[in-house]
Amino acid sequence: MNAVGYFAEGARRNGVKRTIGEQNRAFLDFCNRQGYEVAATFLDTDEPHTAANGFAQMLQFLQRTDRGFTVVAVDGLGALGPDLGQAAMALLAIENTGVQLVCIHTGNDAAKDLMTAWAERGADTPVSERVRSAMRRKAVKGEVLGRPPFGYRVGPRRRLELVPDEAVVVRYIFRLYLQEEMGIRKIAGQLNDENISTRRGGRWSMVGVRDLLRNRTYLGTYSRFGVKVPGSHPPLVSPDDFRRVQERLQTRYGGDRKRTVVPFLLSGLLYCARCGNRMIGVSRRQKWTTRTGEEHSSSYRYYQCESRTNQSACGYNTQRSPEFEARIRALLAEDAPGVRRIARAGNADSYLLDTMGQVDKIEGRMRRGRRQVEEIVADAAHGHISLERMKALGGELVREQQALQEELAAARGRITAHETEAERRRYLDALRVRIVAEWDSLEFPELQSSLREIIDRVDVDGEECRLYLRL
């Protein structure tokens, strides 16, 4: 059996710093005692878990098919990070490759040592975790946490109480859907036609109506953090009506049906020139029977104004996706006959600000992901979920983190590539030429990200199409 050693400069064990030499000697002694062969060692001399460092190289090694039956050994949890949260992220990343991680100092599975250390922190427990526990205790009492749903407000005793004007609208929506059998798109359109606004004074959308119809709070039961408190506030719909609504929603939209979501190439780039709202991708499947009794079906994909799709507003502004994507390719070619001149956006500063904003959003998502990992580990440490469940849930989150890390590196790379005006123009023009030439051979993710990099926006109104590049 092979063993891989991972060492980190500045790692602590029981509060005492361990040198690289001490960690290496402990690893070699461990291999001798257990009869392991040393497969490889990896070292980080600065803050671990950054791109292309020892930890990243070790993960690449562990993903190789020829590594054999391998175990990773560390001197202690301190080698995985300066705090237990970072150690948990590193542990889950290693075990996500199918390799066991052990602590040399204790000889235990590192996950068990992590659970023990987490449970014994006491006063060192992070404020976020203590807040989460306090919120669970409030939820048990039926006290409101967060923003109340439409139709309710937070009362003096922190319980939900009715907002009369909004409660009338909630009952109206349920009646339209259940008794008059209107679809959620038509309901959104009717509310907007009647100038009935959302709590923030905005227009109703399909998503808003759908989420309202699915909200179990209207049964009079408060639910949060897995805690349910029946009868905590006045209901707005009967259990029988709510059940019938859910059955219709499930029948209409296939609640348990497995769906294959195929992304749209130009998502986020198209805008309706009539109302200024986005054009969104819409998929439709149609079935019909011929006169001879043969059944046929076909799928249609197109871009449609979001105002019309979700709010029954605006006019009929729809583009079939394959044909429209071909038009965009022709516009990018510039020399194609019969194509209108491409308008140049020339907004380098805007693009850089957008990209910096993307970096901020990705970093924010990564911070939220880490907090979720810490919450899962805390639940396991306190016996709320099993160790196996913690590894499964944590593994999914770590995979998301790794994907976000790649997005972050790509976004930072784009910022570096656009540091000067001349470099930016040369880079984007070369990218445009490459996209046109290799459109059919590029993988979808690469083609989509490249289009988003060179296209600022596309304004569409029927046959009229104006494309703005970031050049």
CATH number at residue 111: 3.40.50.1390
In a domain, 325, yes or no: no
The percentage of residues in the chain with a pLDDT greater than 70, rounded to a whole number, is 84
Q: How many helices (H) and strands (E) in the chain?
A: 15, 17
pLDDT reported for residue 136: 57
What's the sign of the alpha-carbon dihedral 119, 122, 126, 131? positive
Same structural domain, 183 and 95: no
Helix axes 164-178, 206-214, angle to 10 degrees: 90
Same structural domain, 185 and 289: no
For residue range 198-215, list pLDDT tens digits in order. Answer: 998 999 998 899 999 999
In a domain, 192, yes or no: yes
Same structural domain, 282 and 304: yes
In a domain, 264, yes or no: no
Same structural domain, 62 and 110: yes
For residue range 276-288, list pLDDT tens digits in order. Answer: 888 888 887 777 7
Would you say residue 342 has pLDDT above 60? no
Residue-range definition of the domain harbouring residue 297: 270-319
Same structural domain, 293 and 372: no
Name the band, by pLDDT with cuts 50, 70 and 90, for residue 293. confident
In a domain, 326, yes or no: no
The percentage of residues in the chain with a pLDDT greater than 90, rounded to a whole number, is 37
Same structural domain, 31 and 75: yes
Same structural domain, 233 and 308: no
32-41, 348-357, 385-394: lowest mean pLDDT where? 348-357
Q: How far apart are CA 325 and CA 316, in angstroms?
A: 19
In a domain, 328, yes or no: no
Same structural domain, 233 and 181: yes
pLDDT reported for residue 47: 54
The count of domains in the chain is: 4
Same structural domain, 456 and 353: yes
In a domain, 263, yes or no: no
For residue range 427-463, list pLDDT tens digits in order. Answer: 888 899 999 999 999 889 889 989 988 898 899 988 8
pLDDT reported for residue 311: 62
- Domain CATH for 217: 3.90.1750.20
For residue range 296-320, list pLDDT tens digits in order. Answer: 778 889 898 888 666 656 767 889 9
Smallest CA-to-CA distance from 444 within 454, 431, 435, 432 is with 435
In a domain, 357, yes or no: yes
Cβ contact 48:90 at 8 Å? yes
Same structural domain, 387 and 427: yes
Same structural domain, 152 and 113: no
In a domain, 261, yes or no: no
Could you list the beta-strand ranges (E) of 230-372. Answer: 270-272, 279-289, 295-305, 318-320, 343-344
Same structural domain, 84 and 178: no
For residue range 234-269, list pLDDT tens digits in order. Answer: 999 999 999 999 999 887 655 445 555 688 999 989
What average pLDDT does the segment 57-82 reach? 88
pLDDT reported for residue 379: 82
Q: How far apart are CA 153 and CA 166, in angstroms?
A: 10
Would you say residue 132 has pLDDT above 50? yes
Smallest CA-to-CA distance from 369 within 388, 393, 353 is with 393
The Cβ of residue 283 has, within 10 Å, a number of other Cβ atoms equal to 14
pTM for the structure as a whole? 0.51
Name the band, by pLDDT with cuts 50, 70 and 90, for residue 91. very high
pLDDT reported for residue 406: 87
What the block records as the tokens of 440 is 């059919």
The secondary structure of residue 123, as a DSSP letter, is G
pLDDT reported for residue 310: 60
What the block records as the tokens of 258 is 């497995």
pLDDT reported for residue 459: 92
Q: How far apart are CA 425 and CA 344, in angstroms?
A: 12
pLDDT reported for residue 351: 65
Would you say residue 122 has pLDDT above 60? no
Backbone angles phi, psi at 41, to 5 degrees: -130, 150
- Rounded to the nearest integer, the mean pLDDT of the chain is 84
Name the band, by pLDDT with cuts 50, 70 and 90, for residue 137. low
